[in-house]
Structure 1
Amino acid sequence: MTEARSSGAPTVLRVVLGKRLHDLREKARLSYEQAAEALDVTHATIRRMEKAEVGLKIPYVEKLLHTYGITDPDEVEGFLALAREANRPGWWHRYRDVLPEWFSAFVSLEGEANLIRAYEPHYVPGLLQTEDYARAVLRSGLAHASDEEIERGVALRRERQALITRDAAPMLWAVMDETVLRRTIGGRDIMRRQVDRLIEACDMPNVRLQLMPFAAGPHPLMYGPFHIFRFGIREIPDVVCVESLVGAVYLDQRGDVSTFLEALDRMCAQAPPTRSTKAVLGGIRKEI
């Protein structure tokens, strides 16, 4: 992945295998053009395979492995088995009728990360939303959507939330502006239940929540929402997703990611510590 609008939703495994093909080609000291000759394709095809921009055609992968000097049958078959697995659509594929392409990439990254850090200035993070709150959020953003489409969106969000209660669940560390809880979404009853959900989340071992109060003044992230994904796979760098009204930009260049990490760390140091979040939420709950 590079800095670009997502034009697809490669699984993280496909990204890893693309990186491995890149490393094998370089170890064999072959250029893109030389690798392409082995397949009778253009060099652009090799580049796109290595960048996970296309699916991994099994005959192509097998031919490349032999071209790169990988001849052990067990090693070749192991790689091909992973390629077949990487080509399978993610579970979210069945929601493609209501899932924008740019967000498919987000869900793929979210599902494979072992650490998810987020800054949310407008809404409760999707992984912690109640169904009623999620329904109200979707309705506000998709004014022309049918009731069926809204309910499909809620169902997708519900399936995503299983992520944080599964075995080996990722760490979710989210910072929200106080604005998130002061802006009524869907009515007071819905907001009360949403705050109750956040209070419950504070007791989860893999969830850390911080609230940036109005009284704290300006902070380094007064621009817009973003997420940072970190993986337990060395081939995958940290990825930042910066959302906008019409899509998202995904960044994985070290300098870009470091800028976001540094700003988020400064904000976390400026906000009240996580141990006080539950009490703060309880106070806000009484005021709603």
Structure 2
Amino acid sequence: MSAKNPTTIPRRQLGRQLREMRQGAGLSIADAARLIERGAGTLQRLEKGENPRIRLLDIEALCRLYDASAEKVEALKALAREGDERARPVDERVWWHRFDDLIPDDFETYMSLEAAAAQVIMYQPDVVPGIIQTADYARALERVFFDSDSPMDLEQRIQVRMQRQTAITRRLAPVDVDLLVDESVIRRVAGNGKVMAAQLRKLADTPPNVRVRVLPFNAGFPLGCAPGPFVMLRFPIDSNTKEPVEPTTVYVESYGSRLYYDRTDIVDRYVAAHEQLGCVALSETDSKYLLRQVAKEFEA
């Protein structure tokens, strides 16, 4: 990634959306650029998230060309404003948004990044991550968090959660997952003992592309602090450039906010943290044994 013109999360998300819309319209980059009277190189940089100067007029013209809905137009313009470096310090590489901000729910920034990733590296200190939850475990959590949902709405949320998991089970290029979970994850009850037993057995019986290790209580605090949950997303290598199609991105979610980082020094810090935690975690074999033992305890 060029230090002079780094790619940011909003620009990458904007570019991905525009590329999918163009492909859905059956247009080449050259055709789309010609129809909005812009250069093909300009549109290509926009789709790759490499253009630090984004014209809202271009976004509006492309949306008209692709017959986008009014809601999608506003969502893309919001991303364009976030991604335009003229609106913020040039060295700022963090994109923050709250649950109720400009980006509509159906934009699902993290889910699109996760689906596009080649590898997902996770640390979870308190809950099984959604990409590997059972339906009953997810239902036990969502029923409390979305306590005003109708039964139908709740089930739709569960279906979305289950759909995410196709990323690790698909036949073509399934996502590689490296998951570290704290021992508290496997002992804190969601739902009841039956729900927990099934969830732990799922963690113990993952496909070969999913590596699960448990950080035991007796490991103490390997980092000297509690880092909180985090996810690192690594992307496929471009066959022409031999570089990742997008820079490694760190995703941090708390109770009321989501943070995305792709600045190299911040990413490196999380890489080092994951390595330190991994050094004191149980092996995959020992983790599977512990998961099955605790599942038996819940069943009893």
Asked whether 1:218 is paired with 2:221, we answer yes
Q: Give the partner amino acid of 1:210.
A: R
| Aligned residue type for 2:115 | G
TM-score by length of 1: 0.68
Equivalent in the alignment of 2:175 = 170
Aligned-partner Cα distance in 1 for 2:57–2:177: 30
2:142 alignment partner in structure 1:
138
Gaps of 5+ in 2: 1-6, 21-37, 40-45, 67-71, 76-102, 238-243
Q: Cα gap change, 1:105/1:198 in structure 2, threshold over 3 Å: closer, same or farther?
A: same
Unaligned 5+ residue runs, structure 1?
17-37, 40-45, 62-79, 82-86, 90-98
Q: Deviations for 1:237-283, whole angstroms, at most 9, x for unmatched residues?
A: 00000001123010000011001111011101111122322111111
- 1:50 is aligned to 51
**Could you say if the C-alpha distance between residues 142 and 216 of structure 1 is closer, same or farther in structure 2, counting changes exceeding 3 Å?**
same
Query: In the alignment, is residue 264 of structure 1 matched against residue 268 of structure 2?
Result: no
SS in 2 for 1:195: helix
> How many equivalent pairs are there?
225
**More relative contact order in 1 or in 2 (CA 8 Å, sep 6+)?**
1
Relative to structure 1, is the Cα distance of residues 190 and 121 closer, same or farther in structure 2, using a 3 angstrom cutoff?
same
Q: 1:2–1:250: 8 Å Cα contact kept in structure 2?
A: no
Deviation track 1:5-27 (CA, whole Å, cap 9, x = no partner) reads: x79954647599xxxxxxxxxxx
After superposition, what is the alpha-carbon deviation per residue over 1:169-201, rounded to whole angstroms, capped at 9, x for unaligned? Answer: 011011001111111101111111111111211
Deviation at 1:144, TM superposition (A): 2.5
- Partner residue, 2:195: 190
- Equivalent-residue separation in structure 1 for 2:181 and 2:151 (angstroms): 29
Amino acid at match of 2:255: L
Partner of 1:94: none
Instruction: State the one-letter code of the partner of 2:208.
Output: P
Q: CA deviation at 1:115?
A: 0.4
Partner residue of 2:292? 282
> TM-score scaled to structure 2, two decimals?
0.65
Contact 1:7 1:102 in 2 (8 A): no
Q: 1:206 to 1:143 in 2, by over 3 A?
A: same
**Shift in alpha-carbon separation, 1:56–1:165, aligned structure 2, 3 A:** farther
CA contact (8 A) 1:15 1:236 kept: no
Structure 1 residue 235: Cα displacement: 4.0
CA spacing shift, 1:224–1:276, aligned 2, 3 Å: same
CA contact 1:9–1:104 (8 Å) conserved in 2: no
Partner-residue secondary structure (3-state), 1:143:
coil
Alpha-carbon separation, structure 2, partners of 1:57 and 1:218: 48
Fraction of identical pairs, as percent = 30
CA contact (8 A) 1:10 1:52 kept: no
Change (3 A) 1:263 1:49: closer
Per the TM alignment, residue 121 of structure 1 is displaced from its structure 2 partner at its CA by 1.1
Q: Tell whether 2:131 aligns with 1:127.
A: yes
Distance 1:10 1:188, change over 3 A: farther
Q: What value does the CA root-mean-square deviation take over the aligned residues?
A: 3.7
**Contact 2:11–2:50 (Cα < 8 Å) also in 1:** no
Q: Which amino acid aligns with 2:253?
A: E
